[in-house]
Structure 1
């Protein structure tokens, strides 16, 4: 009886336990359901709509993409974010994330039950329970975790609800991609693509295992475990090693791999991205101006709740450009290498003891004061203080007070130094630096391959490629020669005497004479072929040609070849008095290389929105200007510049031409042997040096000079285009030829069939000699 009663009691107790278990279980399920419903109904705060879940709004940077597929830079305000598709993420990065942040990621639907129970049981002491989906929910919709416990619980519930909804709206792969794209890695590294570029100088797909581990380690705290600045190097490395250990724990890598990877130092390639740093800075600012104009003319399709104008900082546009990142790098390196050396020589010649008005030449004190006054009134300091209500007296006083500042310096690895200087003295300091501009274009398509607007955008923001305009010097002469060959059917072998030549012109009712001198201030009295005259920039021959065709014809040809700035129809333009810029000059010279067809330079080929919809595609602008024969004759003329003229230093000594080249060429590093057409240019007081160089599929223009025209070399030794600008071209082309993938031609220009303009001057000379011999024979026999 007692046993039966005991058994009955045990049975009753067991059923009681089962009953209460199910009651509690059902209550838990019901409570969880109610919590989820309450959160969905907005009881714990606003929840994202289905539409927002489907299209989460994140600010996306506009990306500038080179012709070879490299990101040149981004336009952004706060978020430097460029999304990356899941397929463009390396597997080691995905493995590192799952191993460290959510080992059961592929087995749950947004909430990890085991992890959640563990977190509750141990009050978080053995790790949290936030899944990748929950962390994404917090990043997208919930925000920074509050310290208020009650609010924190509400936030956690919202994360659970949103995480489950994200899991229904997206695939696992899409959630991982979104998570990598949304995270802020610090130092303007918003999203994995920016992080990869900024910390390692590469695309995400190229990340090594240890690099991926460092970036994933930053998910715990991107400020604490950030390698830049190096405030916590030990902690950052330890965090990376934890990620590697987790990867080994879940068999993504072997123990041996883990040990060898943990032994590696933190090798970074820190490449900060800002609007003033990185590759193609001047070009990117041109693109910004282009986009601002394009946005004004192209309204955004009207959609409810969206901006009616495109925003290059927020809308994630993709701008496809013609610039080749490899050629751009070569161009920037060439400019820096030469300008550093040229500037050292300029400083040597313009010390105060050698030039009391340094850095200016030929100016009185009052003129120098005028230059400084203009610079002060156009400075940011003057405008800012004026807006803040400061008096002119206060503003002027501020220019004479020494302050801490960072200035440009060629001798620093980072091209700048910290110093103490008054703003007035800094104006003088910056005026001493020579500036440069360079643009390189494919003449057949007009595609601009490289664009360098100055020596350092951070400190010199004026773009001398497009904004600048300076006298063209002798680089304008080919337009005169082209008019003469086109209209008078002259040949490069026709001759003109090097004697004083004057042109009469009516000016203000009076007759003036223009009698140009050669750079040597002498006249040889010899007959020069047009080819030799252009190669040696003989001014007297150019004057004769413009007198034969008239200034109006020359201006007409120059206009047809893309020069838009004012050109007076006077004889003096023959020597390059008109102002122009590198952008237009490269386009114009492209006409010669492209068999007489002008193609307007193009920089942007296509614009897409973030979904890949094409918003803009360029249409080439072309014009037939010269016949193929005339264009080729001009190319042949300009080949003489590098064969026996002012561009000869591009060549290397050779046995055949050793006598000619030995004195001039020895010591120059270019050693270019392929056919090159070109023209140097130098203005009258050596303030501007030019070189325009062409090979069959690349036309490049270079200008070098001071910001003020009164800043220049004293003599032509260093102040000529062959010394100031040509070396940049030579260095750039040498770098291009070192990379065969670029496909820069080293062949000769294509000669048109049935060429009627004679180019073989030796042949003409032989025929003339035969005719002379025949005449002499006839004279001998009395005929």
Structure 2
């Protein structure tokens, strides 16, 4: 019996010794594991500098002059927000749901960790907010291999405790919310608030904050946009509300009200092809790619526009941009319907006045410029196989004015289909500052990526004539009131380098006899423009046009007076703005300043300007162009007309402008300005061979002018924009005769009703 007792005692002591030995070995092993992990034996650990400045990968923000984010350049759509700008209920929801003892622990919640270990993770993990931040910052998703996952977990614990020493609790909250992925292009709470609710985080309601916090558990699973997940998201949101009650952040009565509210999203996915000012943003992207090469960081390296978190403050006004896009959309929807009607009996639609061979060349060129051609070429497909593929019907999603539509057609048919669409370019600028206030490069960036505002130069037609008249006033000391005979006119071969005899004709085939310059420009009389350029010489007109900021190559030929010159909308707006700005040219300005992610100004714009004309001559040209909207091709602005539709705008204030229509109605223009805003509009198809066959529909007064009218009408209705309705400022002691009515009245030496004179 005694022997048995001794054996039992021996066994107990033996196992006790073994237990404590294993325990201390285990503790020692864990200690060494942590030490080795801390020193990087199991992979690198973040240094002090990395903890102090974690890789932010911040999106560059494009900000309008009125403080609205127009868009971003990013590989990860994330914009930081300070803790002070987070609503309290959002922070409360986060702590209540993700880490109830967040303010009590130092990075690791021992109670939750021990509980999770006992249950082998059956009730979920025990990661604190600090641990989740460590994972987001330094190693991403956990490994599925248990040993690697254990190593990662230890590293998370170490990094979490270091983060707690490095940052305040509030800073950790802000860092975490700024890094969290909310799917659908939204990374960080600021992007999430914008994408899902169209607002800043500070404006989120309690139930909206609860929904976003609920997504953190599994963003893909609790994606509120997916219809099949709506009930799941609804229940998850209410779970967060319940957690807020449990942690005394929300009253039970308030929860009962909030949990019944439906989920209401204002979904605005932020992609490069969607949203406002898409063409402007892409133009700015190209500008910034060049800018970063010329403006280096203090250490000599280049800024990265995709992850350095720059803030680009632009001159664009988000309200005016919205009005411009709406005006283009409204008019071109209507005009496009008329264009489709006009093509019904055209066997070669949408092309006119070109033969089968010319059409074939045009289509083949479009085929070889297509994305399909480039992709198949990259796959080393033979040219013969590629061409055959363009005649094979395939599924595709196409643009229509009623929204995208799925259809089946051959790629070649789709090319011809898209050739039917009218495009537009439009820019609005403040003459006194050069600030570009709105920029529309086309009708839909996703489907039509060519920018017709800053990239595409088109023939300008009669909108070139004011440059001819300005040259005549400057060189020949003429005035708007001087008269000239509208009659047949010929420039013989050899004169002004003309290779063949040139006899321009008026568009209506009529001649008006004696006419003053103001009325001649108002009615776009071709023979008068030809006579003026004959007197000044083409070189003087070309020189003035270049001084007005036009960089296009212009031949020194008399025919340029009728507008056979290709110029961008951007350069035309800058040139016309010079007349409104008393003869001083100011280069269009898109950016006011650029800041780095810390708010330091790294670029501030300095306007570029130079004198072109005297104030007197500039004002005389303005008075000339006022005649266009008073009694000429632009009078539709006074009664809302568009040729085929009445839009209802009725402007009574002084407006200077000029319509333009190119040969065969391929391009329609309207350039118009008031004292503090100049806007240019071009409308046409991608190919000049695609056009209206009648001038009634294809002229600038029908194609482009209504967009200007719709846009200005919207701007005038927004009192905060302060767009001028005042007369243009008249120079003191002006030396150029501009009061044509008074000039005629003073020459009359007999009584009669002077109203019969139309000037």
Q: How far is 1:619 from its partner?
A: 2.1
Within the candidate set 686, 693, 701, 1:707 is matched to 686
Other structure's SS at 1:426 match: helix
Q: How far is 1:283 from its partner?
A: 0.8
What residue number does 1:422 align with? 410
Query: Are positions 1:596 and 2:589 aligned together?
Result: no
What residue number does 1:469 align with? 457
Task: Confirm or deny: 8 A CA contact 1:118 1:126 kept in the other structure.
Answer: no
Q: Which deviates the most, 611-620 or 135-144? A: 611-620
Other structure's SS at 1:73 match: strand
Provide, for residues 356-411 of structure 1, a one-character-per-residue CA deviation record: whole Å limited to 9, x for no partner: 11100001101100001111112222222122211111111111111111111112
Q: Equivalent residues in 2 for 1:65-80 (5 A)?
A: 65-77=63-75, 79-80=76-77
Other structure's SS at 1:446 match: coil
Q: How far is 1:163 from its partner?
A: 0.9
Q: How far is 1:604 from its partner?
A: 2.0
- Distance verdict in 2 for CA 1:94–1:428, change over 3 Å: same
Alpha-carbon separation, structure 1, partners of 2:119 and 2:198: 42
Q: How far is 1:48 from its partner?
A: 1.3
Other structure's SS at 2:396 match: strand
- Distance verdict in 2 for CA 1:511–1:72, change over 3 Å: closer
Query: Are positions 1:636 and 2:623 aligned together?
Result: yes
Alpha-carbon separation, structure 2, partners of 1:511 and 1:769: 45
Task: Confirm or deny: 8 A CA contact 2:492 2:498 kept in the other structure.
Answer: no
Alpha-carbon separation, structure 2, partners of 1:441 and 1:534: 24
Within the candidate set 337, 348, 367, 1:344 is matched to 337
Q: Equivalent residues in 2 for 1:660-679 (5 A)?
A: 667-679=646-658
Query: Are positions 1:169 and 2:180 aligned together?
Result: no
Task: Confirm or deny: 8 A CA contact 1:650 1:668 kept in the other structure.
Answer: no
Other structure's SS at 2:72 match: strand
What residue number does 2:530 align with? 543
What residue number does 2:243 align with? 246
Query: Are positions 1:289 and 2:286 aligned together?
Result: yes
Alpha-carbon separation, structure 2, partners of 1:752 and 1:509: 38
Normalising by structure 1, report the TM-score.
Answer: 0.89
Alpha-carbon separation, structure 2, partners of 1:511 and 1:616: 51
Other structure's SS at 2:327 match: helix
Structure 2 unaligned regions, length at least 5 = 1-19, 752-759
- Distance verdict in 2 for CA 1:508–1:63, change over 3 Å: closer
Q: Which deviates the most, 193-202 or 681-690? A: 193-202
Alpha-carbon separation, structure 2, partners of 1:44 and 1:395: 52
Within the candidate set 436, 440, 443, 2:428 is matched to 440
Alpha-carbon separation, structure 1, partners of 2:126 and 2:561: 79
Alpha-carbon separation, structure 1, partners of 2:346 and 2:639: 36
Provide, for residues 144-186 of structure 1, a one-character-per-residue CA deviation record: whole Å limited to 9, x for no partner: 1233334333322222211111011112221111111111111
What residue number does 2:15 align with? none
Q: How far is 1:58 from its partner?
A: 3.3
Query: Are positions 1:583 and 2:570 aligned together?
Result: yes
Provide, for residues 235-266 of structure 1, a one-character-per-residue CA deviation record: whole Å limited to 9, x for no partner: 01111111122223333333232222222221
Q: How far is 1:532 from its partner?
A: 1.5
Task: Confirm or deny: 8 A CA contact 2:498 2:557 kept in the other structure.
Answer: no
Alpha-carbon separation, structure 2, partners of 1:268 and 1:423: 37
Query: Are positions 1:234 and 2:221 aligned together?
Result: no
Alpha-carbon separation, structure 2, partners of 1:511 and 1:106: 87
Within the candidate set 479, 482, 488, 2:470 is matched to 482
Task: Confirm or deny: 8 A CA contact 1:649 1:665 kept in the other structure.
Answer: no
Task: Confirm or deny: 8 A CA contact 2:685 2:691 kept in the other structure.
Answer: yes
Report the number of matched residues. Answer: 733
Other structure's SS at 1:630 match: helix
Provide, for residues 282-332 of structure 1, a one-character-per-residue CA deviation record: whole Å limited to 9, x for no partner: 1111111111212333344448xxxx4332223222222111111111111
Provide, for residues 515-548 of structure 1, a one-character-per-residue CA deviation record: whole Å limited to 9, x for no partner: 21111011132x2221111111111222222222
Alpha-carbon separation, structure 2, partners of 1:215 and 1:521: 69
Task: Confirm or deny: 8 A CA contact 2:643 2:702 kept in the other structure.
Answer: no
Q: How far is 1:639 from its partner?
A: 1.4
What RMSD, in angstroms, separates the aligned Cα atoms of the two structures?
2.5
What residue number does 1:51 align with? 49
What residue number does 2:129 align with? 132
Task: Confirm or deny: 8 A CA contact 1:651 1:665 kept in the other structure.
Answer: no
Structure 1 unaligned regions, length at least 5 = 1-21, 654-660, 774-783
Q: Equivalent residues in 2 for 1:182-261 (5 A)?
A: 182-261=179-258
Within the candidate set 306, 311, 317, 1:313 is matched to 306
Q: Equivalent residues in 2 for 1:22-41 (5 A)?
A: 36-41=34-39
Alpha-carbon separation, structure 2, partners of 1:441 and 1:604: 13
- Distance verdict in 2 for CA 1:638–1:665, change over 3 Å: farther
Query: Are positions 1:761 and 2:708 aligned together?
Result: no
- Distance verdict in 2 for CA 1:343–1:514, change over 3 Å: same
Task: Confirm or deny: 8 A CA contact 2:462 2:562 kept in the other structure.
Answer: yes
Alpha-carbon separation, structure 2, partners of 1:288 and 1:564: 22
Q: How far is 1:591 from its partner?
A: 0.1
Other structure's SS at 1:690 match: strand
